[in-house]
Amino acid sequence: MSQESGRVNQEYLDVLAGIARTIQPDEQSLREWFQRYSDEHKSRLAFDVDIIRKQCRADSRLLEVGSTPPLLTGALKQIGYDVCPHVLM
């Protein structure tokens, strides 16, 4: 989604969908939660990727805090960013 158009960038949605397919949890109850989370947050995450692409150089190193599930981390890595995830516990 871009702020100007209000539309989600399909390229980023595709990247996020690919990441979601690769990091499926083993446990059934977590798979159900993960699928719901992925479906409900894909537009927001694509918007986040769009903002980062506009605000950060491609050679930037990023720290993602609270990266569970690591959908945004995976998407950013796939498009070339050096991302260091930090899981809050």
pLDDT digits (tens, 9 = 90+) for 4-43: 557 889 999 999 999 999 998 999 989 999 999 999 999 9
Is 51 inside a domain boundary? yes
Residue 1 has pLDDT above 60, yes or no: no
Whole-number pLDDT of residue 2: 45
Residue span of the structural domain in which 80 resides: 10-86
Residues forming a β-bridge with 86? 65
How high is the pLDDT of residue 88?
62
Q: Does residue 1 sit within a domain? A: no
Which of 46, 51, 54, 53 has the alpha carbon at shortest distance from 15? 46
Per-residue pLDDT tens over the stretch 39-85? 999 999 999 999 999 999 988 899 888 778 999 999 999 999 999 87
The number of folded domains in the chain is: 1
List for the chain the helix, strand, coil content (%; round to 5). 55, 10, 35
